[in-house]
C-alpha cells in the first residue's frame, strides 16, 4: 500500500487538488526530479512550445482535425478525419510536422509524432501539442510518453471530475513530468525503429483502405447503390402501427434491398455469441477487449488488457473466440472489428465488453466484417436503435438485419485479400511494440538507479 503525508494548508490553497491519488503521483514525480536521478529533466524544460487543442465545431468541410480516436501510441490514423469550422475570428491550434501530439484526456495516455505532408491541420481539445527543443528527438519523446511505466505516473496525476468523465491532465502537471534524457545514439535508435513502424503502419492501412473501397464498389454494383431518400411515399395500410419516419424509411430501404436480390438476413449467415461466464473462475486471468482496443480504420482488435476476472466490470462477460466479428450495439459508437488468431495470450480466455454484440459467421467472416460497415447496413442499424438516453440494438432486432451477400467467389476472394492485409497490419503492430519495448527498457533501467 502506498502512502504520503499532505499538509492541511495545501487543501486551502485555491486550485489545489483534493483527490488522494494525485498526491501519490506528485510524490513520485518529486522523488524523481529532486532525487539522485541526474538524467531526468522536467518535460516543460525540453519544450519550446506546448498548448492544448481548441474547442471547435465539427463540419463537413474545413480544416482537418485529429481527435482521440485518430491518435494511438506512436501512430496516427488519418482515415475518417473530421473537419473543423474555422473563420478569421476563430483561434485554433496549428500543428506542424515533428510536433508531438499527446492525449492529455484519455486512458491509456499515448503520444505520436506528426509526419510531414499537412499544411493546415489542428487537434481537438483533448490533445496537447508539444514542440520539442533540439536536445530531444520527437520520436523518442513520443515513445517514452507511451510506455507503461510512464502511464502509471500519468494515471496518478490525472484528474477525473466524476466517475464517468475522462481522466485529464493539466498543462501545469504535464510540464512537471520527469523525462530521462539519454545520449543521441539511443534517441536516434528509437527514431529509426519508430520510422520503420510508421512506414509499415501507413502501408497496411493504405492496403486495407483499397480493399474496403473495392468491397464497397462491388456491393454498390450488386445492390444498385440503394439508399434512403429524404422524401418518399408510403401507403397507410403499410404502416403496421408504426408511423415514425425513421422506421418507414428503413422499411422502404429493406424492400429495395430485397428486390435487388443481393442481401440476406443476418440470421442466415451468423449467430450471436451468448453472454456467459460459465467455466471461468473469479481468480482466472483473462484477456479483456474494450472499445478503446479497437482500431476503426483497420477494423481489428489491436490490443487487450490482461487481468483477473474479479477485477473486471460486470459488463465484461461476453466470451470471444478468434474469427468472431464485434459490432457496437450500445452507445454512440459505430465500431466493427474482426478478432484475429493473434489476439490474446495462450491459455487465457478472451472476454468482450457488453458494448458489443459478437457475431459468429459460418464462412468468410473477414468479408462480412467490411460488409457490416457499408452505408446500407449503417442506415439499418441506426433505424433499429432504440432508447431515449442511450442507443441500444437488441439481438432480436439484429436477426432481421439485411447484409450484402456477394457470390461465393467474390466473398472468398475478398476474404483472402483481407487476411493478407491483416497479416501486414500485425507486422506493423509488432514493429510498434519493438519501439515501445526499447523505450520501456530504458525508462525502467533509469528508474531503478
pLDDT at position 432 = 95
For helices 408-448 and 148-157, what crossing angle results, to 10°? 80
**CA distances in angstroms from 409 to 49, 54, 324, 412, 415, listed in the order given:** 55, 49, 21, 5, 10
Q: Report which secondary-structure segment, H or E, holds 212.
A: helix 184-223
Q: Are the folds of 8-181 and 207-410 the same?
A: yes
- What is the Cα–Cα distance from 425 to 366, expressed in whole angstroms? 14
- β-strand pairing of 47-52 with 127-132: antiparallel
- What is the Cα–Cα distance from 67 to 259, expressed in whole angstroms? 40
- What is the Cα–Cα distance from 125 to 315, expressed in whole angstroms? 29
Q: Which residues contact 241 (CB under 8 A, 6 or more apart)?
A: none
- What is the Cα–Cα distance from 323 to 359, expressed in whole angstroms? 9
**CA distances in angstroms from 9 to 16, 18, 27, 29, 123, listed in the order given:** 10, 12, 17, 21, 38
pLDDT at position 338 = 96
Strand ranges inside 246-338, DSSP E:
263-265, 270-272, 285-289, 294-295, 300-301, 305-308, 316-320, 325-328, 336-338
Q: Which fold has domain 8-181?
A: Adenine-n6-DNA-methyltransferase TaqI; Chain A, domain 2 (3.90.220)
pLDDT at position 389 = 63
Write down how long the chain is.
Answer: 449
Per-residue pLDDT of the chain (449 residues; tens, 9 = 90+): 555 565 655 554 545 555 665 666 666 666 655 555 567 888 999 999 989 888 888 887 888 999 888 899 999 998 878 888 877 657 888 899 999 999 988 778 899 999 998 888 999 888 999 999 999 999 999 999 999 989 888 887 776 555 545 678 888 888 888 899 999 999 999 999 999 999 999 999 999 999 999 999 999 888 875 554 556 566 666 555 555 666 666 677 777 777 777 888 898 999 988 887 787 888 889 999 988 889 888 999 998 888 888 888 887 878 899 999 999 888 777 889 999 999 888 888 999 888 889 999 999 999 999 999 998 888 888 877 776 666 788 888 788 788 998 899 999 999 999 999 999 999 999 999 999 999 999 998 887 76
pLDDT at position 12 = 47
Instruction: Assign 80 to helix, strand or coil.
Output: coil
- pTM of the predicted structure, to 2 decimals: 0.82
Cell of 401: 438485419
pLDDT at position 227 = 52
Which one-letter DSSP state was computed for residue 392?
A: B
**CA distances in angstroms from 121 to 78, 84, 115, listed in the order given:** 11, 9, 11
- What is the Cα–Cα distance from 140 to 381, expressed in whole angstroms? 43
Please tell me the number of Cα atoms within 13 Å of 108 on its side-chain side.
19
Domains of the chain, by residue range, sit at 8-181, 207-410
pLDDT at position 228 = 47
Homologous superfamily (CATH) of 207-410 is DNA methylase specificity domains (3.90.220.20)
Amino acid at each position: 500500500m502506498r502512502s504520503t503525508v499532505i499538509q492541511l494548508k495545501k487543501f486551502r490553497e485555491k486550485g489545489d487538488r483534493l483527490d488522494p491519488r494525485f498526491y501519490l503521483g506528485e510524490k513520485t514525480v518529486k522523488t524523481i526530479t529532486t532525487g539522485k536521478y541526474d538524467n531526468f529533466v522536467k518535460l516543460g524544460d525540453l519544450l519550446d512550445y506546448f498548448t492544448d487543442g481548441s474547442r471547435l465545431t465539427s463540419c463537413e468541410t474545413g480544416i482537418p482535425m485529429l481527435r482521440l480516436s485518430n491518435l494511438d501510441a506512436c501512430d496516427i490514423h488519418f482515415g475518417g478525419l473530421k473537419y473543423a469550422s474555422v473563420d478569421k475570428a476563430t483561434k485554433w491550434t496549428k500543428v506542424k510536422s515533428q510536433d508531438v501530439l499527446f492525449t492529455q484526456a484519455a486512458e491509456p495516455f499515448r503520444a505520436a509524432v506528426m509526419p510531414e505532408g499537412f499544411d493546415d491541420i489542428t487537434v481537438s481539445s483533448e490533445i496537447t501539442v508539444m514542440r520539442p527543443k533540439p536536445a530531444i528527438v520527437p520520436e523518442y519523446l513520443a515513445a517514452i510518453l507511451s510506455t507503461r511505466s510512464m502511464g502509471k505516473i500519468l494515471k496518478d496525476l490525472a484528474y477525473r471530475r466524476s466517475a464517468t468523465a475522462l481522466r485529464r491532465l493539466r498543462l501545469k502537471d504535464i510540464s512537471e513530468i520527469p523525462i530521462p534524457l539519454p545520449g543521441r545514439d539511443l534517441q536516434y535508435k528509437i527514431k529509426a525503429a519508430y520510422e520503420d513502424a510508421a512506414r509499415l503502419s501507413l502501408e497496411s492501412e493504405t492496403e486495407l483502405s483499397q480493399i474496403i473501397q473495392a468491397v464497397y464498389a462491388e456491393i454498390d454494383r450488386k445492390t444498385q447503390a440503394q439508399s434512403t431518400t429524404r422524401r418518399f411515399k408510403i401507403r397507410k395500410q403499410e404502416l403496421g402501427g408504426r408511423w415514425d419516419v425513421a422506421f418507414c424509411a428503413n422499411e422502404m430501404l429493406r424492400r429495395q434491398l430485397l428486390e435487388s436480390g443481393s442481401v440476406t438476413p443476418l440470421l442466415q449467415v451468423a449467430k450471436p455469441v451468448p453472454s456467459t461466464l460459465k467455466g471461468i473462475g473469479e481468480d482466472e486471468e483473462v484477456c479483456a477487449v474494450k472499445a478503446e482496443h479497437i482500431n476503426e480504420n483497420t477494423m481489428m482488435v489491436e490490443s487487450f488488457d490482461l487481468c483477473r476476472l474479479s477485477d473486471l466490470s460486470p459488463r465484461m462477460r461476453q466470451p470471444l473466440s478468434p474469427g468472431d466479428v464485434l459490432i457496437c450495439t450500445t452507445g454512440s459508437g459505430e465500431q466493427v472489428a474482426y478478432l484475429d488468431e493473434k489476439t490474446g495470450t495462450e491459455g487465457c480466455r478472451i472476454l468482450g465488453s457488453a458494448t458489443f454484440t459478437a457475431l459468429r459467421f459460418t464462412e468468410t467472416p473477414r468479408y462480412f466484417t467490411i460488409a457490416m460497415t457499408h452505408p446500407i447496413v449503417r442506415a439499418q442499424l441506426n433505424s433499429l436503435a432504440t432508447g431515449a438516453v442511450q442507443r441500444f440494438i437488441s439481438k432480436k432486432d439484429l436477426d432481421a438485419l439485411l447484409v450484402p451477400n456477394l457470390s461465393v467467389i467474390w466473398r472468398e476472394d475478398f476474404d483472402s485479400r483481407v487476411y493478407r492485409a491483416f497479416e501486414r497490419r500485425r507486422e506493423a503492430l509488432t514493429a510498434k511494440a519493438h519501439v515501445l519495448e526499447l523505450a520501456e527498457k530504458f525508462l525502467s533501467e533509469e528508474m531503478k538507479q
